[in-house]
Structure 1
Amino acid sequence: MLQLCRVTEALFISNARSACDGELIRCEAVTLCINVSRQQPFPAASDMAALRVPVYDDPNEDLYVHFDRCADAIEEEARRGGRSVVYCKNGRSRSATVCVAYLMKHHKLSLTEALQKVKTARQVIDPNPGFMAQLERYEQELKKKDRDLN
């Protein structure tokens, strides 16, 4: 079944097949596609912003270095009234990790809360152990920045 799973008002998570379905993208008024893969295609719609995060679903891949850029792009799109879809091949590990990082940074959720929110939207999510470790590191980093500001 083709579907974009709504995480927030302005954020969807999906697999590549659904994210590349032009009808779905139009129906949900998606304006930014974040493709978290090296090989998956982008939707054909040319009027859409696109961001590729070239990583494999491998625990040794460094997805952490992309967290801020992706989270800020999603937030910026939302503030402009746009909507983002984050996807990878199966919509389980890479895309989920990016969505969780976004919720932690811009919605101030803990890692546990953010994971639960994404899992509620898309039950099959399951970030690999390496990405979970990177999210834990990111949570500590965000807490530290928060403390330094206060």
Structure 2
Amino acid sequence: MRSNQACCNMNFGVFAGPSEIRPFLLLSSELPATNLQLLVQNRVTHIINVGTMVENCFPEAFVYKRIVIQDLPTEDIKRYFEECNDFINEARRANGRCLVHCNAGISRSVSIVMAYLIKHEDMSVKSALCCVKAIRPVAQPNNGFLLQLLEYEAEVRGHL
């Protein structure tokens, strides 16, 4: 029994409530995205769902963007950065709050949030990852996504 409890405690950070990266930008695993009360408490208005096999649970209550992508280094996540950035800005302009989630809140959703910080806050990949990790320590995009974020940073800075 003790080892099960330790296992549950070890994973708690992954499945805990949303992490507030900015007042208008939240990051989480899939579990908070399925909890209407939690979403309302956090004043979420927009949701980017980057999870697999995770439905948009409350389409009547929130504005959704659905991105279907696997957490694999070979997946092209970079092609979604601009549309997700626009969606986050749409929420911000409306004085809303955008939740970005995937299954565990570690790789895909973190990559989307980092892309936003790279473009709209002029951060490097390293700075964006440090910023997110300071708030959500489990954050760790897979190596393929990190390479694409580096490419995106170079494009945003005009180096490609």
Q: TM-score range by the shorter chain?
A: over 0.9
Q: Deviations over 1:44-93 (max 9, x none)?
A: 25121000111000001100000000011101211210000000000000
| Alignment-derived partner of residue 6 in structure 1 | 20
Larger displacement relative to structure 2 (34-43 or 83-92): 34-43
State how 1:1-150 maps to structure 2 within 5 Å. Answer: 2-44=16-58, 46-144=60-158
Using the size of structure 2 for normalisation, the TM-score is 0.86
| Alignment-derived partner of residue 4 in structure 2 | none
Aligned residue type for 2:88 = I
Query: Is contact 2:25–2:99 with CA below 8 Å preserved after alignment?
Result: yes
Aligned residue type for 2:115 = A
| Alignment-derived partner of residue 148 in structure 1 | none
**How far apart are the structure 1 equivalents of 2:97 and 2:54?**
20
Structure 2 spans left out of the alignment, 5+ residues: 1-11
SS at 2:80's partner residue?
helix
SS at 2:157's partner residue?
helix
Structure 1 spans left out of the alignment, 5+ residues: 146-150
- Residue 37 (structure 1) shift: 2.4
Aligned residue type for 1:116 = C
Larger displacement relative to structure 2 (10-19 or 71-80): 71-80
Aligned length: 146
Query: Is contact 1:75–1:106 with CA below 8 Å preserved after alignment?
Result: no
SS at 1:144's partner residue?
coil
Structure with higher Rg: it is: 2
**How far apart are the structure 2 equivalents of 1:79 and 1:41?**
26
Q: CA RMSD for the aligned pairs? A: 1.5
Query: Is contact 2:29–2:104 with CA below 8 Å preserved after alignment?
Result: yes
Using the size of structure 1 for normalisation, the TM-score is 0.92
